[in-house]
Chain A
């Protein structure tokens, strides 16, 4: 497991994620009120990019079918999603946001 750079801390807008591809994994990193959170960018219901979805109050919605996930825990909050998202630890190093995968 290694730490991957995402972007400078001050370049994040709230509720607008940044996406990093690591091999086959696509990770979306969000700035919320209490810090940075990294989740898998792929909806567990059908193939869709959560980074294209609507985000509010710590939740992100799948852009295709409105399945909803908690960004902090990765939990699937309602049908049609039932499988939780992978989450990744984050940190800020020298002003740069990183996640570990």
Chain B
């Protein structure tokens, strides 16, 4: 029987396994994960879990037994240490050798760490796994002085949760504003205002240079002066877990290079989810995504490719954040060179990035989920749109698709 081995039992690994089973009732599917937790989606880790919810639905976590029903062999607590491409097998930390006919690497990404003195203190944390989220959630208590390094999406979601839990929160950001990588300045300013209104201190242009651990506090040395904290959460981005692939001789350049079907430089090996840097025809280059979307939808391409059908991954990038009960959705890769215009209707807002030809290339929406699908179509069409109608909230966007 043909065996597909999937290394990495996160969202992308689960999706690959389930989609593959849907396409092929016969083959053997083996899903190996390092963690003891059955696969789960990560969005609730920086939100509901920190607010004390035990098992939010958004985790999409099934019992380990549920995999048996679909004849997916799920092995948890298994760490793969090497891939032998010539022999088509992997080796695990326990010395097991597992042969495969096709291999999917879905090892995801890990939180980037600070490379400064004192960063190895146990009060310096990152957030990536369920275990991290449970530890962090348990430490958030009224009066705790939490410092967050990084005013990106994860840092701000944690800041929002922590202030709701009664912590004193300071966010330290090297750049000049919040979420600079993914939203235009005017939106960043609004998001900053939500945080300041809730009592979060935001420090921009603030580089953390050293951590001096003392028994009663962490003394953070920054370019803006010293700050005391009980706990420091480092949220400065993610690094793809591509070492396993690279060590085996698969081409890795800031992620595993993959074509639009997910195939890597080795024809028997595929990359799924955040570990992959995927060829995007429209952009004319490989792109690595750090989103729920890529873990959810790119495995569709991988599962089809494993069954011999081409279904290239080509999606408009989309991600979201939820902070203080507000929902922000981001369509397209942020580009400060676009002209960003606002369409506002009370609390609901759409910020639209328009190019020189008058076509919408990207959008950020606040509490306007209804407009995401029409905007996705407007962006996909690439056609110039009448600006007055676009910015007039009384004209439904669906009329402009």
Contacts and interface: CB of A to CB of B under 8 A. Distances in A.
Contacts of B41: 80
A82 B56 CA distance: 14
Contacts of B372: 54, 61, 63, 66
B374 interface: yes
Contacts of B374: 54
B57 A45 contact: yes
B364 to A, nearest CB: 15
B387 interface: no
A25 interface: no
Nearest to B41: A80
Contacts of A79: 15, 60, 296
A interface, over-half SS? loop
Contacts of B371: 54
Interface in A23-66: 44-46, 48, 52-54, 56, 61-66
Contacts of B15: 79
B190 interface: no
Contacts of B398: 54, 56
A53 B56 contact: no
B283 to A, nearest CB: 22
17 contacts: A45-B57, A48-B369, A53-B369, A54-B369, A54-B372, A61-B369, A61-B373, A62-B369, A63-B368, A63-B370, A64-B320, A64-B327, A65-B320, A66-B369, A80-B60, A80-B296, A82-B60
Interface of B: 15, 41, 56-58, 60, 296, 320, 322, 327, 368-374, 398
Interface of A: 44-46, 48, 52-54, 56, 61-66, 79-80, 82
